[in-house]
Amino acid sequence: MRAHLVLGEKGNEQNNGLSKVISQYCMVTGWSNSLEEAAVWAEKGGGEDPDLILINSAVYFLAPDKLRKTNTKDFLRLILTLKRGRLKSRLILLLSENMLLNRELIINLCKMQVYNLWFLDSFDEDDVRNFLYTDRTIEEVEKYLELKDKELAYLRSIRGDGANSSFLPKDGEKLFKPYHVQSNLIIFWSENDTCLNYGLAILTALNLARHGFKVALGETISAGACLAGCLAIEHPYYNMSHALSMFRQGNYDFLKNCFFNGEKYLDDPYALSREGNKDFLEFLPSSLYFLPDGKREDDPGETVPQEQWVAFLTQLARIIMFEKGFHFLIFVGSGRNRFNQQVLEEFAYTKFITVDLLPASILSGLKEREKGEGRTIIIGPKAVPKINQEIKGMGEEPFLYPPASFVDDFLQFVYTRNYRKITAETEAFVHLLMEAVGVKIAVPDLAKKGVVDWLRGHLK
């Protein structure tokens, strides 16, 4: 493994000793003397992301200029900068035992999905191996914190200094409840704004998967399939058209294996873009699966009877949602055809419909909403006060409008595969879409003006 160390002064004897032990298990590729220095490196430094970043919190909390008053929020901002700047790296955070009582710190680290926390004042080589080879989930960090709290409570009782003090909630309440969600069938659809529509679908699916959900992103059958091209994941067999053809021939088992994630794509000798796309495919969360459309000689086209397409969708949804246990099945499609219409009218519960600002497109979106089947959210390319005023006068729910940076962010992601350049405004808007399907992401309490305040400016 490649490791970047944030331990303090490199010449310090204790730091050099720890580095020497770590070097037995990892290749040390970088060193930062302070957390501030590490944050600058994460944002502006070159090179590949290391496998892990090991941070001794003493480089921040024991620094001379912070002896007067340590600021937990500043510390959290720096950790968040590291996490956002080095997306592929696992953060390992060493904290003193007395910081176990800092509830604000622990809860916000959990909100950031930094789960590899270690509370101790001394450690040996066995502990170092644990740091390096343990990668916790939220459930595992809950258990660790509970055990650590009990251990310290016993020691406090021996010393007689507050055995009853604890940072943990009472009555079995979890320390951090990130969200509650039910399984959902979703479609992102637009009659004419393909770029914005695919950007909304791909970034929403990606962020749901990054927050631990199992997501299947499938593309409806249409003349202009775009999903495989956007992510360079074209496959001659694992595509929606071929899956439908196999289903029509009576091969129902093919549906159980046609969705693929980055790992499965890399291991497949038939995958068309696995060599040049390796780093990006490894970046994708393992819980994000795809079934793009593709054009073949046996392309089903418009000859598929309606009842066969409905039966195919029913079987696909049953396998994905019930047999495979996915949280979300998301369809993306553009253009007005019967494949899209049947997903819109008969399968999707939550519908994101992107319109342009011409009257016919707006009215088309409002008519889809009037059908009253499930929930329909209409998204426009930009807010126009006159249009917003008329929509309000009609008693309609307001449209959502992405930030001006959204399409540019998505296009650079398509062409550079670099998620780090996605702006905070775009990510905040995607979080708003996630809320619409029942996932409320807990944003760390790091600033007076939060994401919700910013989003209010985009709801007209």
- Mind listing the pLDDT tens digit for each residue in 202-227? 999 999 998 888 999 999 988 788 99
CATH class, range 2-159:
alpha beta
**What fold, for 184-456?**
Rossmann fold (3.40.50)
Tell if the pTM clears 0.95, that is, is over it.
no
Q: Do domains 2-159 and 184-456 have the same CATH topology?
A: yes
Residue 171 pLDDT:
46
Per-residue pLDDT, 379: 93
| Residue whose tokens read 């459309």 | 293
Which of 198, 193, 143 lies closest to 361, judged by CA?
193
| Contact indicator for 332, 230 with CB cutoff of 8 Å | no
Domain boundaries, the chain: 2-159, 184-456
C-alpha distances in Å from residue 63, one per residue of 59, 234, 329, 386? 6, 51, 49, 55
pLDDT digits (tens, 9 = 90+) for 157-195: 655 555 445 555 554 445 554 444 455 899 999 988 999
- DSSP-H helix ranges across 69-137: 72-85, 103-111, 125-133
E-only strand ranges, 144-240: 184-190, 215-219
- For 133, list phi and psi in degrees, rounded to 5: -110, 0
Spell out, as residue ranges, where the chain has pLDDT lower than 50. Answer: 67-68, 163-164, 171-173, 177-181, 447-460
